[in-house]
Structure 1
Amino acid sequence: MKKAGILNRHLSGALAELGHGDGVLVCDAGMPVPDGPRVVDLAFRAGVPSFAEVLDGLLAELVVEGATAATEVREANAGCAALLELRLPALELVPHERLKELSAGARLIVRTGEARPYANVLLRCGVFF
C-alpha cells in the first residue's frame, strides 16, 4: 500500500501511464467531458475536492512543461486565475471554447468537485531529465 502521494488507485495508475507530451485536463464539476480520454472523476460534493487541492496533488507528482486555461478565468474567477499563474508560470490562455476543443485530445481528465466557473487547466506532461 502506498503511504504518500496520490492514494486513489485509478488516478495513481493513470498518472503512471502518462508520457511526454500527454495532456491532462484538470476540471471543475461543470466542464463538459468529451468522449475518448480516460476520466477519473473525483467529484464528491460541490467544492469537494477543490480544484486547488487536486491541482497541487498532481503538480507534486507530474513534470509539466506547459499548461492552457481559458481566458475567461481572469474575469469570472480571479482566485483561480491567480492560482494558475502562480503554479504554472508558462500558462497560455485561450478562449473557453478552444479549451473545450483541446480537451478532446487529452489522455486523461481529472474531474474535481470545484463549483466555481472556469476552474479548468490542460497540463502538458514533460520529462524529468
Structure 2
Amino acid sequence: MLTSDLLHPSILRALANTGHGDKILITDGNYPLDSDVNENTEKIYLALKPDLPTVTDVLETLNTQINFEKAEVMTPGPGEQPKIYAEFKKILTVDDLSKLGRQEFYDECKNATNLKLGINTGETRTYANILLTVGVR
C-alpha cells in the first residue's frame, strides 16, 4: 500500500516519466485540455463536481512528490491579478510567477513538446491554470 499523499496511479506513472525541464499543467474546469495541449501530453480528467478537486488541491499534492523550478500562469492582462496567484506562491514558496497572456499560455501548452502531463480539475475560479517546470532534487 502506498503511504504518500498521492495515490492516483496514472499521475504517479506520469511523474515517474518526467525529468528536469519537463512540464506539468494543472487546469481549471474551463481549460480546453483536449485541444490546447500537444498530442503527446498525457491527459487526466479529475473533475468530479464543481471545485472538487481544486487546482490548489492538486498543486499541494504534486508539490509533495516532485520539485518545481518554474511556474507560469495565464493572466487576464494588466490590472488586478487573480487571487489564486497568492495561493500558488504560498504552496510553491516562490517569489514570483511568470505571467503569460491567455493566447500565449495556450500556445506554450500546445507547442511544448516536453509537456508530459495535463490535469484538468473541477476548479471554478477563472485563470486558475498553472504550468510547472520540473526541477532537480
Task: Answer yes or no: same fold by TM over 0.5.
Answer: yes
Query: TM-score normalized by structure 1?
Result: 0.89
Question: Alpha carbon RMSD of aligned pairs, Å?
Answer: 1.7
Structure 2 counterparts to residues 47-66 of structure 1, below 5 A: 47-66=51-70
Give the CA deviation at 1:76. Answer: 6.3
2:27 matched to which residue of 1?
Answer: 27
Say yes or no: does 1:96 pair with 2:105.
no
2:18 matched to which residue of 1?
Answer: 18
Question: Structure 1: where are the runs of 5+ without partners?
Answer: none
Distance in 1, matches of 2:70 and 2:14, equals 19
Native 8 Å contact 1:32 1:100 kept in 2 = no
Native 8 Å contact 1:67 1:121 kept in 2 = yes
Residue aligned with 2:64, SS: helix
Deviation track 1:49-99 (CA, whole Å, cap 9, x = no partner) reads 011111100111111010100222873632x12112323424211111111
Deviation track 1:20-57 (CA, whole Å, cap 9, x = no partner) reads 11010011111111341111111111110011111100
2:9 matched to which residue of 1?
Answer: 9
2:80 matched to which residue of 1?
Answer: 75
Q: Which has the higher helix share?
A: 1
Deviation track 1:2-21 (CA, whole Å, cap 9, x = no partner) reads 12221011111111111111
Letter in 1 for 2:129: N
How many matched pairs? 127
Native 8 Å contact 1:29 1:111 kept in 2 = yes
Letter in 2 for 1:94: L
Distance in 2, matches of 1:13 and 1:122, equals 19
1:117 matched to which residue of 2?
Answer: 126
Question: Structure 2: where are the runs of 5+ without partners?
Answer: none
Distance in 2, matches of 1:92 and 1:15, equals 22
Query: TM-score normalized by structure 2?
Result: 0.85
Distance in 2, matches of 1:75 and 1:57, equals 28
Native 8 Å contact 1:76 1:117 kept in 2 = no
Q: Identity of aligned pairs, percent?
A: 29
Distance in 2, matches of 1:59 and 1:48, equals 18
